[in-house]
Amino acid sequence: MTNIAAKFESFERRFPNHRPAAFGLSRAAVLELLAFFALAFAIDFALFGGGRFQAVQPHPFWIPVILLSVQYGTSEGLLAAVTSTVALLLGALPPQLFGQDIFDYLAGVSATPLMWCIAAIVVGELAARRRRRLEQTERALAETREEADGLADAYANARQTKDRLEARLAGELKTTLALYEGARAVERASAGDVLRGAVDLTRGVLGPEKFSIFLLNGDMLEAAVQEGWTADDTFTRCHTADSALYQAIVAEGRQLCAAYKDDADVLAGEGVLAAPLAGGPGGRPVGMLKIESLSFAELTTSAIENFRLAADWIGAALERARRQEALAAGQVTDASGETLSAALYAHEATLMSRLGARFGFDCSQLVIDAEAAHGLSADDQRSFARALAAAAAETLRDTDLAFDLGRHGRKYAVLLPGADPEAAAQIARRLEAALARLAPAAVLQGRVRVHVELLEAAA
Residue type, 418: G
pLDDT of residue 214: 92
Handedness of CA 272, 278, 280, 281 (dihedral sign): positive
Rg (CA), the chain: 52
Q: Is residue 431 part of a domain?
A: yes
**Which CATH number goes with the domain that contains 349?**
3.30.70.270
CATH number at residue 256: 3.30.450.40
Containing 115, the helix (H) or strand (E) segment is helix 102-186
Predicted pLDDT of residue 334: 56
- Gap between the Cα atoms of 343 and 205, Å rounded: 37
Mean of pLDDT values over 36-62: 82
Angstrom distance (rounded) from CA 36 to CA 47? 16
Please answer whether residues 73 and 124 qualify as being in contact, where contact means their C-beta atoms are separated by less than 8 angstroms: yes
Query: Hey, what's the torsion of the CAs at 258, 260, 262, 266, to 10 degrees?
Result: -10
Nearest to 402 by CA among 324, 348, 457: 348
Count CB atoms within 10 A of the CB of residue 338. Answer: 19
The answer to whether residue 170 sits within a structural domain is: no
Q: Could you give the angle at the alpha carbon of 363 between the alpha carbons of 362 and 366, nearest 5°? A: 135
User: Within a domain: residue 375?
Assistant: yes
Reduced to 3 states (helix: H, G, I; strand: E, B; else coil), residue 231 is coil
In the listed set 328, 350, 372, which residue is the last one of a domain according to the structure?
Answer: 328
Residues 260 and 206 in one domain: yes
Does residue 131 sit in the same domain as residue 238? no
What is the distance between the alpha carbons of residues 251 and 272, in angstroms, rounded to a whole number? 20
3-state helix, strand, coil in the chain (%, to 5): 60, 15, 25
Q: Residue 284 CB: number of other CB atoms within 10 A?
A: 14
Q: Return the H-helix or E-strand segment holding 149.
A: helix 102-186
Q: Which residues of 89-107 are buried (b: 16+ CB within 10 A; e: fewer)?
A: eeeeeeeeeeeeeeeeeee
Q: Tell me which of 290, 306, 328 is where a domain ends.
A: 328
Residue 48 shares a structural domain with residue 143: yes
Output the pLDDT for position 1.
47
Q: What are phi and psi of 73, to 5 degrees?
A: 120, -170
Among 304, 328, 352, the domain-final residue is: 328
Are 301 and 360 within one domain?
no
- Who contacts 12 (Cβ-Cβ below 8 Å, separation ≥6)? 138
Classify 369 as helix, strand or coil: strand
Q: Give tens-digit pLDDT for 5-15.
A: 555 555 555 55
Do you find a cis peptide bond into 113, omega within 30 degrees of 0?
no
Alpha-carbon distance 417 to 399, whole Å? 7
Are 298 and 207 part of one and the same domain? yes
pLDDT of residue 7: 54
Same domain, 135 and 54: yes
Contact between 425 and 452 (Cβ < 8 Å): yes
In a domain, 64, yes or no: yes
Whether 140 and 256 share a structural domain: no
Q: Do the Cβ atoms of 205 and 302 come closer than 8 Å?
A: no
Instruction: Report pLDDT for 218.
Output: 83
Rounded to two decimals, the pTM is 0.42
pLDDT one-digit tens code per residue, 191-209: 677 777 778 777 777 778 8
444 and 354 in one domain?
A: yes
Residue 129 lies in a domain: yes
**One domain, residues 263 and 366:** no
Report the mean per-residue pLDDT for the chain: 77
Domain presence at residue 173: no
Q: What is the DSSP letter of 26?
A: E
Task: Give residue 383's identity as a one-letter amino acid code.
Answer: S
pLDDT at 176: 53
User: Is residue 359 assigned to a domain?
Assistant: yes
Question: Are the C-beta atoms of 379 and 312 separated by less than 8 Å?
Answer: no
Question: Cβ distance 281 to 318 under 8 Å?
Answer: no
Q: Structurally, how many domains does the chain consist of?
A: 3
By the 8 A CB rule, do 263 and 290 touch? Answer: no
Q: Is 283 left (phi over 0), alpha (psi -120 to 50) or beta?
A: left
145-159 confidence digits (pLDDT tens): 888 888 888 888 888
In this predicted structure, what is the pLDDT of residue 425?
A: 85
* Torsion angle defined by CA atoms of residues 373, 450, 191 and 331, in that order, rounded to the nearest 10 degrees: 110
Tell me: do 200 and 305 sit in the same domain.
Answer: yes
Any residues with CB less than 8 A from the CB of 30 and at least 6 apart, and which?
22, 79
Q: Are residues 338 and 315 in the same domain?
A: no
Strand 411-417 with 238-240, pairing: unpaired
Domain that holds residue 311: 191-328
In this model, does residue 99 exceed pLDDT 50? yes
Q: Using the predicted structure, report yes or no on whether residue 232 has a pLDDT greater than 70.
A: yes
With respect to residue 185, please indicate whether it lies within any of the assigned structural domains: no
Q: Which residue has the higher pLDDT, 182 or 289?
A: 289
Same domain, yes or no, for 114 and 27? yes
